[in-house]
Amino acid sequence: MARKLDLAEKAVVELTAKQATAELARLAAEIAHHDALYHGDDTPEITDADYDALRRRNDAIEARFPDLVRADSPTRRVGAAPSAGFAKVKHAVPMLSLSNVFSDEEAADFLARIRRFLGLKEAQSVEVLAEAKIDGLSCSLLYLDGKLERAATRGDGVTGEDITANVRTLDDVPQKLKGKGWPARMELRGEVFMRRDDFLELNRQQEAKEAKVFANPRNAAAGSLRQLDAGITASRSLRFLGYAWGELSEPLGATMMEARERMASWGLPVNEPAALCDGLESLLATYRAILEQRPSLPHDIDGVVYKVNRLDWQERLGFVSRAPRWATAHKFPAEQAETVLKEITIQVGRTGALTPVANLEPITVGGVVVSRATLHNEDEIARKDIRVGDRVVIQRAGDVIPQVVEVKNRKGKKRGPAYVFPERCPVCDSLATREEGEVVRRCTGGLICPAQAVERLKHFVSRGAFDIEGMGSKHIVAFWQDGLVKSPADIFRLHDHEAEIAEREGWGALSAKNLMAAIEERRTIGLDRLIYALGIRQIGEATARLLARHYGSLAGWREAMLACAAERQANPSEMKKPELVGPQFADLCNIDGVGFSVADDLVFFFAEPHNLEVLADLEALLQIEEVAAPSASDSPVAGKTVVFTGTLTEMTRHEAKARAETLGAKVAGSVSKKTDYVVVGADAGSKARKAEELGVATLSEAEWLSLIGGQD
Ligand code: IVH
Q: What is the pLDDT of residue 560?
A: 96
Nearest alpha carbon, ligand 1 atom 17? 133
Burial 519-543 (b: 16+ CB within 10 A, else e): bebbeebbbbbbbbbbbbeebebeb
What are the distances in angstroms from CA 376 to CA 99, 275, 403? Answer: 23, 38, 8
Domain termination site, one of 625, 656, 686: 625
Domain termination site, one of 266, 299, 331: 331
R_g (Cα) of the chain, nearest Å: 29
Q: What is the pLDDT of residue 5?
A: 45
pLDDT tens readout for residues 114-139: 999 999 998 899 999 999 999 999 99
Confidence at 272, pLDDT banded by 50, 70, 90: very high
| Residue 221 alpha carbon to ligand 1 centre in Å | 16
Q: Average pLDDT of 345-359?
A: 94
Ligand 1 pocket: which of 128, 129, 135, 191 to mutate (most atoms within 8 A of CB): 191
Question: Do both 703 and 580 map to the same domain?
Answer: no
Domain termination site, one of 625, 659, 680: 625
User: CA-CA distance, 667 to 653, in Å (whole number)?
Assistant: 11
Question: Do both 170 and 224 map to the same domain?
Answer: yes
Ligand 1 pocket: which of 131, 240, 243 to mutate (most atoms within 8 A of CB): 243
Confidence at 79, pLDDT banded by 50, 70, 90: very low
Q: Is residue 679 assigned to a domain?
A: yes
Q: What is the pLDDT of residue 520?
A: 95
Spatial contact of 134 and 269, defined as CB atoms under 8 Å apart: no
Query: Rounded to 5 degrees, what angle do the CA atoms 153, 133, 119 make?
Result: 100
Q: Is residue 463 assigned to a domain?
A: no
Cβ(256) – ligand 1 distance below 6 Å: no
Q: What is the pLDDT of residue 283?
A: 97
Q: Is residue 239 assigned to a domain?
A: yes
Q: Could you tell me the end-to-end alpha-carbon distance of the chain, in angstroms, rounded to an integer?
A: 69
| Residue 694 alpha carbon to ligand 1 centre in Å | 47
Report whether pLDDT(80) > 50: no
Question: Do both 207 and 279 map to the same domain?
Answer: yes
Q: What is the pLDDT of residue 239?
A: 97
Question: Do both 227 and 94 map to the same domain?
Answer: yes
133 in active site: yes
Question: Do both 682 and 539 map to the same domain?
Answer: no
pLDDT tens readout for residues 404-430: 999 998 888 899 999 999 999 999 999
Ligand 1 pocket: which of 93, 99, 137, 138 to mutate (most atoms within 8 A of CB): 138
Q: Write down the pTM of the prediction.
A: 0.60
Report whether pLDDT(579) > 50: yes
Nearest alpha carbon, ligand 1 atom 22? 97
Q: Is residue 133 assigned to a domain?
A: yes
Question: Do both 585 and 694 map to the same domain?
Answer: no
Nearest alpha carbon, ligand 1 atom 6? 133
pLDDT tens readout for residues 177-224: 999 999 999 999 999 999 999 999 999 998 888 888 887 888 899 999
Average pLDDT, the chain: 88
| Residue 305 alpha carbon to ligand 1 centre in Å | 7
Tell me the β-bridge partners of 364: 369
Q: Average pLDDT of 98-109?
A: 93
Cβ(97) – ligand 1 distance below 6 Å: yes
Question: Do both 180 and 298 map to the same domain?
Answer: yes
Say which DSSP state 40 is in.
S
- Residue with the larger pLDDT of the pair 712 and 504: 504
Cβ(191) – ligand 1 distance below 6 Å: yes
Q: Is residue 15 assigned to a domain?
A: no
Residues 6+ apart with CB under 8 A from 428: 443, 445, 448, 449, 450, 451
Confidence at 705, pLDDT banded by 50, 70, 90: confident
Name the percent of the chain lying above pLDDT 70: 94
Our CA dihedral for 546, 557, 467, 483, rounded to 10 degrees, sits at -150
Spatial contact of 585 and 599, defined as CB atoms under 8 Å apart: yes
Question: Do both 211 and 316 map to the same domain?
Answer: yes
Q: Is residue 226 assigned to a domain?
A: yes
- Three-state DSSP at 634 gives coil
Question: Do both 679 and 583 map to the same domain?
Answer: no
Q: What is the pLDDT of residue 251?
A: 95
Q: What is the pLDDT of residue 329?
A: 96
Q: What is the pLDDT of residue 425?
A: 95
Q: What is the pLDDT of residue 488?
A: 95
Ligand 1 pocket: which of 193, 305, 326, 328 to mutate (most atoms within 8 A of CB): 305
Question: Do both 582 and 686 map to the same domain?
Answer: no
Nearest alpha carbon, ligand 1 atom 16? 133
Question: Do both 293 and 326 map to the same domain?
Answer: yes
Cβ(271) – ligand 1 distance below 6 Å: yes
Cβ(300) – ligand 1 distance below 6 Å: no
Q: What is the pLDDT of residue 712?
A: 37
Q: Is residue 218 assigned to a domain?
A: yes
What number of other Cβ atoms are within 10 A of residue 553's Cβ?
A: 14
| Residue 138 alpha carbon to ligand 1 centre in Å | 7
Cβ(141) – ligand 1 distance below 6 Å: no
- CATH assignment at residue 685: 3.40.50.10190
DSSP-assigned letters across all residues of 168-201 = TT-TTS-SB--SS---SEEEEEEEEE--HHHHHH
Q: Average pLDDT of 530-536?
A: 95
- CATH assignment at residue 193: 3.30.470.30
Cβ(304) – ligand 1 distance below 6 Å: no
3-state helix, strand, coil in the chain (%, to 5): 40, 20, 35
Spatial contact of 190 and 179, defined as CB atoms under 8 Å apart: no
Residues 6+ apart with CB under 8 A from 130: 274, 275, 276, 277, 283, 286, 287, 290, 304, 305, 306, 307
Q: What is the pLDDT of residue 518?
A: 94
Q: What is the pLDDT of residue 104?
A: 95
Q: What is the pLDDT of residue 189?
A: 98
Report whether pLDDT(659) > 90: no
What is the Cα 533 distance to its own chain's centre?
Answer: 14
Domain range for 680: 641-707
Report whether pLDDT(669) > 60: yes
**304 closest CA partner among 284, 320, 324:** 284
Name the percent of the chain lying above pLDDT 90: 58
239-248 and 159-161 as β-strands: parallel, antiparallel, unpaired? Answer: unpaired
Q: Is residue 444 assigned to a domain?
A: no
pLDDT tens readout for residues 277-300: 999 999 999 999 999 998 889 999
- Three-state DSSP at 408 gives coil
- CATH assignment at residue 575: 1.10.150.20
| Residue 401 alpha carbon to ligand 1 centre in Å | 21
Catalytic residue among 4, 88, 133, 307: 133
| Residue 244 alpha carbon to ligand 1 centre in Å | 8
Confidence at 83, pLDDT banded by 50, 70, 90: very low
Q: What is the pLDDT of residue 495?
A: 94
| Residue 674 alpha carbon to ligand 1 centre in Å | 40
Number of structural domains found in the chain = 3
Instruction: List the alpha helices (DSSP H) in 342-412.
Output: 378-384
Question: Do both 207 and 140 map to the same domain?
Answer: yes
